[in-house]
Amino acid sequence: MVLDMRFADGAVLGLAAPEDGPSVTLLPGLGVHRLTVRIRVGTVRASAGCTHVQLGGEAWAEHPGSGPQWIGLFTPVAVPLAAAGGATGAALSMAVTNDQVLALERARGGRELPLRLDLTATLPQSTEDPCAQGQDTRRIAAEDWDAQVRALTAMLAVPDPGAGRR
């Protein structure tokens, strides 16, 4: 799916999943993990003088039968714009806790993980209204998400190498 972000000055950016590699990853941490969504930012129509866009927003899990579950806010990032017809990559990330991952797992019930991304884009150098908003969706296959959660739980189960030393 391509989400067209249309700006008042005539600029149009096409946001989509990357063409290669995973579009959503979960990087394990100690109690707090990093959920990252990769985005391909295509410049459909450029604005005069605009060299970058600031992307941000929030993510929701949309499990069948249970309604949306808010996950969190993305840390805004500045993304250099490619020339018209070109594209560049961006990564939006947020912190998620152990409890949030467990809540996602309970609601997911072994099925795919459907995400709704409420995205905002700002062209800081625009001479018109610089903001645009839109929604994108990602569906992470059950086996892909399971592998990421297994990596996270494996990291948490590693015994402390200093335990037992005196």
The residue type at 15? L
Question: What are the beta bridge partners of residue 41?
Answer: 15, 88
Residue for token pair 């950016």: 13
With a pLDDT cut of 70, the percent of the chain lying above it is 92
141-to-40, 64, 121, 148 alpha-carbon distances in Å: 20, 14, 27, 11
Q: How confident is the model at residue 157 (pLDDT cuts 50, 70, 90)?
A: low
Residue 162 has pLDDT above 90, yes or no: no
Note the pLDDT of residue 116: 96
125-155 pLDDT tens trace: 988 889 999 999 999 999 999 999 888 877 6
Residue for token pair 């592998």: 147
Residue 33 has pLDDT above 80, yes or no: yes
Please state, in angstroms and rounded to a whole number, the distance separating the CA atoms of residues 132 and 121: 5
Which domains can be identified in the chain, with CATH numbers? Answer: 3-156 (2.60.40)
Alpha helix (H) residue ranges in the chain: 98-108, 142-156
Please state, in angstroms and rounded to a whole number, the distance separating the CA atoms of residues 72 and 94: 7
Report the Cα 62 to chain-centroid distance in Å.
14
Please state, in angstroms and rounded to a whole number, the distance separating the CA atoms of residues 91 and 135: 16
DSSP letter (8 states) at residue 160: P
Please state, in angstroms and rounded to a whole number, the distance separating the CA atoms of residues 40 and 19: 8
38-75 pLDDT tens trace: 999 999 999 888 999 999 999 999 987 778 999 999 99
Mean pLDDT of the chain: 90
Note the pLDDT of residue 164: 54
52-61 pLDDT tens trace: 999 999 999 9
Q: Is the pTM of this model over 0.75?
A: yes
10-21 pLDDT tens trace: 999 999 999 999
